[in-house]
Amino acid sequence: MRHNRRAIALLAAFASLLACSPSDAPAAAAHRPGAAGIGDTDFPHDGNGGYDVSHYDLAVDYTPATRRLDGVATIKAGATQGLSSFNLDLVGLHVRQVSVNGSPATFTHQGGELTVRPAEPIDERAAFTVRVHYSGRPQPATSTTNLGTFGFIPTADGAFVASEPNGSKTWFPSNDHPSDKATFAFTITVPAGVTALANGELTGEPTTSDGRTTYRWSERHPMATYLATATMGKFELRKGSTAGGVPNLAAADPRFASSLDKLYRTSGKITDYWATVFGPYPFGSTGGVVDDYAAGYALENQTKPLYGGFEPDEGIIAHELAHQWFGNSLTIRRWKDLWLNEGFATYAEWLWSEHKGAKTADAIFKGHHSRPADDPMWTYPPGRAKPDDLFNQSVYTRGGMTLHALRRAVGDDTFFKLLKSWAADNRYGHVTTEQFIELAERMSGKDLKPLFAAWLYQPRRPA
Ligand code: TRP
Ligand code: ZN
C-alpha cells in the first residue's frame, strides 16, 4: 500500500518533468546580470555582485611627464551566479578592449561602472578570465567627507597611490570592495631612473630596455583592493631583513633620505615586536615608503605602508604595521566595522608606548576618558562607522578605548590570548564586530554585551 502510493507519486513527478519541453525551461533566466554593487548598504555602488575575484594581474605603463597610464588588467574570477553580464569598477579612464575567456566582449562604461557582456554567458560556479585594455590620465578620487584626495595621485616624479576606501577604481578595473580579496601580480613599466613600488615582493631584478624599466612585484596573500599600490618616483632604498627574519624594504623620496635608515630600523623592530604580541607576521615582507607628496596621512598598503610627506615617528609606524594583522590579514566585510581596523591600530600605538616604557595604555586611556562630556567622541559611538565620515576620531580613539575597557574587564592574560586567537583564527579572512564579541565572550566566559554596547554603540561617555 505505502509502496504503491510512492510509486504513483514518483510516476506523476516523472510525467510532469516530461511534459515540460525544453523550450518551456527557463534556461535564459539561469544567466542574469550581476549586481552593480556588492551589497554594502553604506556604499551601494561599491564592488559588484555575481562573481568573486581570485587574482589580478596588472600590467601598467606610466610616464610621469605626461601622466599617461596604459594598462592591461587580467582578472581571474569565479561566478557566484549564472552571468549574462557583470560589472567592474573603473572611473575616468578609457577602455579600449575587453575580452572574456579570450573572446572579445561588448561593454559600456559610465558612472564608474564598466559593464561587460561576454559573448557566451558564464555558468554559475564557472571560473573565467576577463582582460581589460585601458588607458588615459588617472585622476585621484576626491571626497569632502573622507580624507580629501586618494587613489592614484600623480606627483612631480611619479605617483602616490593610496586608495582607501574605494580609490582603486581610479587606476585599475576591479571589484572595489574589501569583501572580495584576491592575490595580485604587478608589471610596472616606467622611465629608467624611476622606481616602482608595489605590494609583496619583487619576482626578479628590474629589466631596462629602450630607456624604460619594468618592475615585477607579486603579492601572493589575499589583499583588499584598497591596499594595492603602485607608488612611483625617485626613491632611495634600503633592503635587508628584520632580526626575526622577515624581508624588509624601506624606500624614501630623496627629500626624505635622512629618514630612510630610521624607517628601515623602526619598521623591522616593530614588525618583530608585533609578531610576539599578535602572532606570526602574515605576509612575505615588511617595510615602508616615504614619499614627498604632502598627504599628511599614512596608509597601511599591504607589506608597504605609505607615509605622505612627513618623517614617520614610531607611533604611526606602530599603527600602520599593526594594520598588517588588523585590516590587511583580517579584513572587514563592510565599512561600518572600520573600528576593527582603526581601533586596533590605535590601541597598538598605546601598546607600543607601554612597551617602550613611555605612557602606559592605561594612562593614555584615562587621559582620553577625562575629555569633557561634550567632546564629539562621546556622542559619536564608533561601532558603526558612518559612510560620510568613515575616519572619524571616535572610530580611532574610542575604538582603541573599547579594547582597553575589554582588557580591564577580562584581564591581561585573556586579553592577549584573545588578540592572538583573533588574528590566528581569521588569518587572511574576513571579520565582523559580532564575531569579535563572540570570541571575546567565549574566551573570557563573561557576558560582554553590556561592555560592547556601552563602548561601541551608545552616544554617551561610558562610565
Ligand atoms: N587607514 C589610514 C590610517 O589610519 C587612514 C586613511 C584612510 C587613508 N583613508 C585613506 C590614508 C586614504 C590614505 C588614503 O592609517
Ligand atoms: Zn589606521
What CATH number corresponds to the domain at position 190? 2.60.40.1730
End-to-end Cα spacing for the chain = 71
Pair 79, 186 in one domain: yes
The predicted structure's pLDDT at residue 148: 85
Residue 455's SS3 state is: helix
Q: At what angle do helices 412-425 and 433-444 cross, to 10 degrees?
A: 130
pLDDT in tens, the chain (463 residues): 444 544 444 444 444 444 444 444 555 569 999 999 999 999 999 999 999 999 999 999 999 999 999 999 999 999 999 999 999 999 999 999 999 999 999 999 999 999 999 999 999 999 999 999 999 999 999 986 677 899 999 999 999 999 999 999 999 999 999 999 999 999 999 999 999 999 999 999 999 999 999 999 999 999 999 999 999 999 999 999 999 999 999 999 999 999 999 999 999 999 999 999 999 999 999 999 999 999 989 999 999 999 999 999 999 999 999 999 999 999 999 999 999 999 999 999 999 999 999 999 999 999 999 999 999 999 999 999 999 999 999 999 999 999 999 999 999 999 999 999 999 999 999 999 999 999 999 999 999 999 999 999 999 999 9
Pair 35, 180 in one domain: yes
Q: Is pTM beyond 0.85 here?
A: yes
Instruction: For residue 301, give the ligand nearest its CA.
Output: 1
d(CA 164, CA 186): 19
The predicted structure's pLDDT at residue 17: 44
Pair 339, 313 in one domain: no
d(CA 207, CA 202): 12
Pair 185, 276 in one domain: no
How many A from CA of 447 to the centre of ligand 2? Answer: 29
Give the mutation target among 147, 300, 392 for probing the ligand 1 site: most ligand atoms within 8 A of CB. 147
Look up residue 118 and give its three cell numbers. Answer: 561576454
Cα–Cα distances in angstroms (integers) from residue 374 to residues 408, 416, 455, in the given order = 25, 32, 16
Overall number of domains in the chain: 3
The maximal CA–CA distance of the chain, rounded, in angstroms, is: 91
Residue 409's SS3 state is: helix
Q: Which atom of ligand 1 is nearest to the CA of 300?
A: 15
Pair 61, 209 in one domain: yes
d(CA 36, CA 102): 23
Cα–Cα distances in angstroms (integers) from residue 176 to residues 96, 323, 393, in the given order = 20, 19, 25
Pair 182, 287 in one domain: no
Q: Residue 392: how many CB atoms within 10 A of its CB?
A: 22
Residues with CB under 6 A from ligand 1: 147, 150, 162, 164, 297-300, 319-320, 342, 391
The predicted structure's pLDDT at residue 48: 98
Instruction: For residue 148, give the ligand nearest its CA.
Output: 1
How many A from CA of 319 to the centre of ligand 2? Answer: 6
Q: Which atom of ligand 1 is nearest to the CA of 308?
A: 13
Instruction: For residue 346, give the ligand nearest its CA.
Output: 2
Give the mutation target among 229, 297, 332, 388 for probing the ligand 1 site: most ligand atoms within 8 A of CB. 297
